[in-house]
Structures are given as structure tokens and as C-alpha cells.
Structure 1
Amino acid sequence: MVVIVSSHKEGFTRRPDKITGGPIYSDVLERIENCSISVVTEQCRKDVRALQKDENDIKESVIRAVRFGRFIGSEWCQINRNEVWAACDAYSFYETAWIEAAHKEMECELYIKFCIGVTGNMVLTVSLHTPRQR
């Protein structure tokens, strides 16, 4: 059974397709102070731990990304293998972060992908990471 956990549900195709016309969550800045944050993928949990971020830090990252970052696009993301999906907005932005390999804080590019949950009172973070090598 397919479950969509994002408040945006239109145009779902059961594939990780791009969504035209974004950003979907143009009201996230008005909502975020009253929202909870939930990290919803295992990889995002690992990345958040590596970046040493807590819920408030993630909120600040969403705010920074939307205010100052570059909107990359909107897309359908499969959250897990159990057919859980979300329509997400993706951004790149810069902030100072602890880089373990360098043993210091550095200004670096980060990527974040998030959605507003079905009830409207939670921001679900699907990914938050530095650039990955391909």
C-alpha cells in the first residue's frame, strides 16, 4: 500500500519524478517556527549526526536554504522500501559546518530536501548533506 506523508499529493506517479512549478512549500518560512522536525531516512540520520545537528539546527538549515540558497527543484522521493513517498523541495546553500576530515569548521555547500507533513505541523527532512562524490 502506498502512503504519501507530504501535504502535497498532486501528480503522484509512483516514481521519483520531478515536479514542475516549484517550490511546492513556499509557505515553509511562515510555518517552520511552529513545526516539529523529523528526520525520515536512515541516510539523513547518519548525515545529520556527522554534521552534529539537532532539531533547532535543522530548522535553521531549512530557513537558510529557503532564504539564501538556490532552489534545485521539487521531486517525488521514496522514503523507504515500504512504498512511503513524499513530494519534496530541494535546495543547496552555504553554511559553516564541522568537517571531520579537516578537523575544523569550514564554509561549505550543503544540500537539503524536505517537505511539510500531511498535518502541516511537521517538516520532514529527507536529506541534509555535503556534496557527495558520484
Structure 2
Amino acid sequence: MVNNAINVSAYKGLPPSEVGDDRHYISDGPLYPVEDILNLLEVGESTTILWTRQCKSHVQQLSYEIADVQKLIRQAITQGQYVNSQWCVQKPTGPWAACDGYRLFRDEWVEYAYKEMRYEYYVKFAIGKTGKLLLLVSCHLSR
């Protein structure tokens, strides 16, 4: 399917010209300096946008507020591991954002099991073109 290939991220590359099932990886990542992401998180909750419908659904399933999401992003970029960078599309016809993906292993207390268990989280995001927003594409437990 052909799209309008608009890039809404601060990354200067050109998005793919077609939407398909293939992932569109970017080889020169991570694309965004950790310091830039931390600075955006420090500004407040208004700088973090749940950018895709699927991301909104995943955050809701986790019962997270934006403050929880920001804490997870902060931990992922400082204590987690960079996974890859790729072009992500918001809707079938665009727009696109060049995103960095991170994973984080975190021990959490599980009330029903009466013990701590290790969970793997995955977050994927872009800094918006103006540099003032963090566009969150994925925020979920590993599948």
C-alpha cells in the first residue's frame, strides 16, 4: 500500500515509500541521545504522547498512567538494553516516525504469587520533529 511518507520524528531520514508487513529497520541507531530523552521526561507528563492505538491499548492493559510510562522509559534507557531502531507508522497511510526500541527486565512484587517475579518490558518511541514531544509507539510486556 502506498502512503504519504511524512516523517514526524526528529530523525532526518526518509520513511519507507510503502507500508507492508516487513519491518523497516534503521541501521545507525540508537537515533536519540539518552540525555535528550531524559530532558523531555523531566519537563512533565504533557511531553509524552501515546502515539498509536495499539500503544494506548497496551498501556491500558498494564493499568499505567503517563507517570508510570515515563518511569518505565527512564528505566529502560538508563538500565535496560537498546534493541533496534525502525520506522513505525501510525496508521496504514502514515505518518511515520523513526523509533528506538529498548527492553528492560524488572523484578516486581506479584500479590497473588506472594513473591517477586521478573518481567521483560519493551518500549519503542521517537522524539517528535520539534524536539518537544516523546511519541510512544510501544509499551508492553515481552511476548
TM-score range, shorter chain: 0.7 to 0.9
Output the TM-score relative to the length of structure 2: 0.80
Paired residue type of 1:56: A
- Does the C-alpha gap of structure 1 residues 38 and 97 become closer, same or farther in structure 2, counting only changes over 3 Å? farther
Aligned: 1:6 with 2:9: yes
Bigger CA radius of gyration: 2
Matched-pair contact (CA < 8 Å) for 2:7–2:14: no
Of residues 28, 32, 38 in structure 1, which corresponds to 2:37? Answer: 28
How does 1:1-134 map onto structure 2 within 5 Å?
A: 1-14=4-17, 16-26=23-33, 27-34=36-43, 36-96=47-107, 106-132=117-143
Q: Comparing both structures, which one devotes a greater share of its residues to strand? A: 1
The residue matched to 1:114 in structure 2 has which SS? strand
The C-alpha deviation readout for 1:85-114, integer Å capped at 9, x for no partner, is 100000110235687x97x97431000000
Matched-pair contact (CA < 8 Å) for 1:40–1:79: yes
Instruction: Give 5+ residue unaligned stretches, structure 2.
Output: none
Q: CA RMSD in A?
A: 2.5
Matched-pair contact (CA < 8 Å) for 1:8–1:87: yes
1:47, CA displacement in angstroms? 0.7
The C-alpha deviation readout for 1:100-133, integer Å capped at 9, x for no partner, is x97x97431000000011111110100011122x
Matched-pair contact (CA < 8 Å) for 1:38–1:123: yes
**Higher deviation after alignment, 80-89 or 10-19:** 10-19
- Does the C-alpha gap of structure 1 residues 96 and 56 become closer, same or farther in structure 2, counting only changes over 3 Å? farther
Output the TM-score relative to the length of structure 1: 0.84
> Could you tell me how far apart the structure 1 residues matched to 2:61 and 2:108 are?
10
